[in-house]
Copies of this chain bind each other. A is one copy, B any other.
Amino acid sequence: MSAEVEELLKRFQSMKNVTGIVVVDNDGIPIKTTLEYNLTLHYAALMQTVREKARQVVLDLDATNEFTFLRLRTEQNELLLCPQEDYFIMVIQSPCD
């Protein structure tokens, strides 16, 4: 898993306007982060519930379908959530120019 995570991290870090990345395993434990400790825990806990909600809704609409990516835009930034089998990556992006 580790090499794959590093590869994804590199990919997201090279994206424009990325201000934070957190990788969270399926138990909700942050395994990589670029944020400070408390903020990492806060994002990990909340985005874990977003991942679960998205997964459930997509399955409920069609049991053969699967949730692959989520982009949540807010007034201040964008949160990207990329689910993988054993973990998910959450990326914070400041608004594009």
In the bound complex, residues from chain B placing their C-beta under 8 Å from that of A58 are 72, 74
Asked if A43 is at the interface of the complex by the 8 Å CB criterion, the answer is yes
Beyond known contacts A69-B72, A69-B73: 14 more, CB 8 A cutoff: A46-B57, A46-B60, A47-B57, A49-B57, A50-B54, A53-B53, A57-B72, A62-B76, A65-B76, A65-B77, A66-B74, A68-B75, A70-B73, A71-B73
| A87 at the binding interface (Cβ < 8 Å) | no
Residues of chain A at the chain B interface (Cβ within 8 Å): 42-43, 46-47, 49-50, 53-54, 57-58, 60-62, 64-77
Closest B residue by C-beta to A81: B72
A4 nearest CB across to chain B (Å): 19
Min C-beta distance of A20 to chain B, whole Å: 11
Q: How distant is A3 from chain B, measured CB to nearest CB, in Å?
A: 25
Question: A58 to B46, alpha carbons, bound, how many Å?
Answer: 9
Residues of B within 8 A of A76 (CB): 62, 64-65
